[in-house]
Amino acid sequence: MGVQKTDVNTLAKVTSLGARFFEKFVTSTKMNKVISNMNDVGLCDLIIATNVSQTVDFGSLKVGDHIVIILPAAGSAQFVTCAVGGDLGQAAVVGQLYIVLRPSM
């Protein structure tokens, strides 16, 4: 799957359905900080973990990818950056959603 380029600056400035979705899971301050740190980022992959391994479902990850982990608790998300290709860097949780964002090069 190729990188779909997204203008995240527009997301930060305009109240949109996508912004409302992220606001449901994280505080506005944290969301704005993460969005500003991910300028020129495109959606690369959506992964639902099928295994607790940090590598089994994450072969598509490249160094520098940003992963948004949607946690089951309302209002919770975690953000990690891939340090080793194909490796999440932590144990996965079966059934959990991982949104992979890749910076444009």
Q: What is the DSSP letter of 73?
A: S
pLDDT for residue 4 is more than 50: no
* Report field, pTM of the whole predicted structure over 0.75: no
The domain containing residue 65 runs over which residues?
4-103
Q: Are 70 and 80 in contact (CB under 8 A)?
A: no
Task: Please give the structure tokens belonging to residue 10.
Answer: 């527009």
- Going by C-alpha positions, the residue among 5, 43, 2 that lies closest to residue 21 is 43
Cα 49–chain centre separation: 14
What residues form DSSP beta bridges with 77? 70
In this prediction, what percent of the chain has a pLDDT beyond 70?
58
The whole-number pLDDT of residue 10 equals 45
Number of domains comprising the chain = 1
Backbone angles phi, psi at 44, to 5 degrees: -110, -40
The whole-number pLDDT of residue 77 equals 84
